[in-house]
Amino acid sequence: NTGDPNRGYKIEFEHLTPHFREIEEFIHDKYDNRHEWVRGDIKAITKDIKSWKPAAE
């Protein structure tokens, strides 16, 4: 969810969380991904990010 104006992409969604790495892994496992970018419906991805819960320890 980073953007670079020199490369023509922008931030579509921002969600501050201490669980960034865990959520990133979850989203990359669930959706088609190309390095740090994922492909999918932005509404579905946003919903998955917002509803993600850490695994019980």
Q: What angle do CA 43, 14, 36 make, to 5 degrees?
A: 85
Q: How many domains does the chain have?
A: 1
Closest to 26 measured CA to CA, from 40, 6, 12, 11: 40
Residue 40: give the domain boundaries.
20-51
**Tens of pLDDT, residue by residue, the chain (57 residues):** 445 566 666 777 888 999 999 999 999 999 998 777 788 898 999 999 999 998 876
The answer to whether residue 8 sits within a structural domain is: no
**Reported pTM:** 0.72
User: CB pairs under 8 A, 24+ apart, for 26-32?
Assistant: 26/52
The answer to whether residue 56 sits within a structural domain is: no
The answer to whether residue 26 sits within a structural domain is: yes
The answer to whether residue 9 sits within a structural domain is: no
- Going through 1-47 in order, the beta strands assigned E by DSSP cover 32-34, 37-39
